[in-house]
Amino acid sequence: MPITPSSVRDLPVGLLGRAQAVQPRTVALRRALHRRPELGLDLPATRDAVRDALADLPITVHLGGSCSSVVGVIEGARPGPTVLLRGDMDALPLQEDTGLGFASEVDGAMHACGHDTHVAMLASAARLLAEDRDRLAGRVLLMFQPGEEGFHGARHMIEEGLLERSGPAGEPEAAFALHISSTLPSGELHHRPGAIMAAADVLRVTVTGRGGHASAPQDACDPVPAAAAMVGALQTMLTRRIGPHDPAVLTIARITAGTTDNIIPETAQLEGTLRTLSEPVRAQLHTEIDRVCRHLALAHDCTAEVEIVPGYPVTVNDPGAAESLARVGAKVLGAPRCTPMQAPIMGAEDFSYVLRRVPGALAFLGGRPAGVAAETAPPNHSNRVVFDESALPSGVAVHAGLALAALSG
C-alpha cells in the first residue's frame, strides 16, 4: 500500500489548520494525563481517559485483556486495506521537577518521555479522521499502547490479536508512529529509512571468588579486581571485535560489591546495557561478552555467571514507508520543517515489534520550547523535561495525513 505522490497531492487542504482548531482538546487531554501518570502495563485511568476521548466518535473501541490497551477502529466509507497509527501511554518512575502548573500529582511517576503528548495527538487525529471517513477506502487502526518503557506493551498487544483487528483484509499494510523529542526544534519532523533506533539488552554479571579479611588478600580470592578488569576489557572487546561501521554501545552502569572496608566480599556484580543496530552484531556481542567475562574471571581464579536479558529489537523503518512519511510531512507541515536524520538514535522502542510484522516507519517530532537551546534543553527522561505544546498540531496533522494518503482509494 504505497503512499503515492498523487495521493499526497490530493490530501485535503487545511489539515494543519484543522489540527490547530482542535488544539484545546489536545492540550486538555495531554494535561489531564500528565497530572495522573501511570506506569507499566496497568493503566486503568489512562485507558478510561482515552476511551472517553473517543466516545463521541464513530469508532469501535476494543479494550485489552492482559494489559490496559485500547484499540480503536475507524471504518472508511469504502472497503480497502488497513493502516495502523500508534500512541504509547505509560509514564516513567521519576519525580517531576518542572514546576509546571499541571505537573504530576503522583509521587515517583512522571510523563518524562512525552507519551502523554502521543496519546493526545493520536486521539485528536482520530477526530479529524472520523470527520473524513468518506475519504477513506479501508480502515484506520488506532493503537493506544501501555508498557512501552521496558514492559513490551506492543508485544502484548500483538499477542492479543492487535493486527487481526484489521478484519477480512488481513494484517495492516502500513504502520506509523511519532515520538516527541524535547531537544529538536518544535514542530519539525525528523525521519530516516532503515534502522532508526537500537536494540537494547540488559547485561548482568556475577563474579564469585572467596571472601576473607581485607588485610590478607592472599588468603582470599578477591572478585573486585576481576570485576574492575571486566569493565575495561569489555570496552576493548567492542573496538576489536566489531567494525567501526557497525555501531554498538556497551555501558556498565552499576557495580556492587562488599559490605564494609575490611572485608573482601565473596561476590561482585556488574550491570549494564548493550545497544546495537543490527541483529548479527547483537548476536555476536552476546557471545563475546560471555567469553570475555568468563575468561577474565578464570584469570583471577574466580568464576563468572553472565546473564544477557534480550530487550527490544532494532527499530527498522521500511524505506518505502519512511519515504511516504517524509512526503506527507512535507505536504502537511512544509518541506523546510521535515529533516532527514543523519544517524540513528541508540535508544530503544517497542514499536519495533510492530515493524517486524508490518512495513512502516517511526519519526521524531520536535518539541523543544521556544527560547531554549538544544544543548541546554533537558532531554527526554529528565525530571525537568518540558515539551512545547504548540508542536502538537503538527503531530495531529501528520497522523491524519498519513492515514488519508494511505487510504485515498
The predicted-structure confidence for 89-126, as pLDDT tens digits, reads as follows 999 999 999 999 999 999 999 999 999 999 999 999 99
The C-alpha atoms of residue 43 and residue 88 are separated, in whole angstroms, by 11
**Does the pLDDT of residue 318 top 70, yes or no?**
yes
The predicted-structure confidence for 213-228, as pLDDT tens digits, reads as follows 999 999 999 999 999 9
**Helices (H), ranges, 197-245:** 223-241
Query: What is the model's pLDDT at position 168?
Result: 63
- How far apart, in Å, do the first and last CA atoms of the chain sit? 10
CB atoms within 10 A of CB 11: 21
Would residue 312 show up in a list of annotated catalytic residues for this protein? Answer: yes
Q: Look up cell 561476590; give the residue.
A: 267
Would residue 353 show up in a list of annotated catalytic residues for this protein? Answer: no
Query: What is the model's pLDDT at position 344?
Result: 96
Query: What is the model's pLDDT at position 167?
Result: 64
Percent of the chain residues topping a pLDDT of 70 = 98
Catalytic one of 75, 160, 305, 389? 389
The predicted-structure confidence for 245-288, as pLDDT tens digits, reads as follows 899 999 999 999 999 999 999 999 999 999 999 999 999 999 99
pLDDT band at residue 2 under the 50/70/90 scheme: low
Catalytic one of 149, 173, 312, 349? 312
**Does the pLDDT of residue 244 top 70, yes or no?**
yes
Of 102, 85, 148, 46, nearest in space to 387 by CA: 102
**Does the pLDDT of residue 205 top 60, yes or no?**
yes
**Does the pLDDT of residue 372 top 80, yes or no?**
yes
The C-alpha atoms of residue 11 and residue 335 are separated, in whole angstroms, by 15
- Order the strands of the 303-309 sheet from edge to edge: 248-257, 267-276, 199-208, 303-309
pTM for the model: 0.94
For residue 217, give the DSSP letter: G
Query: What is the model's pLDDT at position 5?
Result: 86
Q: Domains of the chain (ranges plus CATH)?
A: 5-196+314-406 (3.40.630.10), 199-309 (3.30.70.360)
CB atoms within 10 A of CB 370: 8
Stretch 359-367: mean pLDDT, rounded? Answer: 98
**Does the pLDDT of residue 1 top 60, yes or no?**
no
The predicted-structure confidence for 20-72, as pLDDT tens digits, reads as follows 999 999 999 999 999 999 999 999 999 999 999 999 999 999 999 999 999 99
Q: At what angle do helices 392-406 and 23-35 cross, to 10 degrees?
A: 110
- The answer to whether the Cα torsion of 239, 240, 245, 246 is positive or negative is negative
Q: DSSP readout, 302-371?
A: -EEEEEEE-----EEE-HHHHHHHHHHHHHHH-GGGEEE-SS-BSS--TTHHHHHHS-EEEEEEEEEPTT
Phi, psi of 212 (to 5 degrees): 180, -170
Query: What is the model's pLDDT at position 10?
Result: 86
Are the beta carbons of 383 and 113 closer than 8 angstroms?
Answer: no
The predicted-structure confidence for 131-171, as pLDDT tens digits, reads as follows 999 999 999 999 999 999 999 999 999 999 999 876 666 68
pLDDT band at residue 409 under the 50/70/90 scheme: confident
What is the torsion angle, in degrees rounded to the nearest 10, for the CA atoms of residue 115, residue 116, residue 119 and residue 125? Answer: -110
Q: What radius of gyration, in Å, describes the C-alpha atoms of the chain?
A: 24
CB atoms within 10 A of CB 300: 20
The predicted-structure confidence for 298-313, as pLDDT tens digits, reads as follows 999 999 999 999 999 9
Three-class SS state of 190: strand
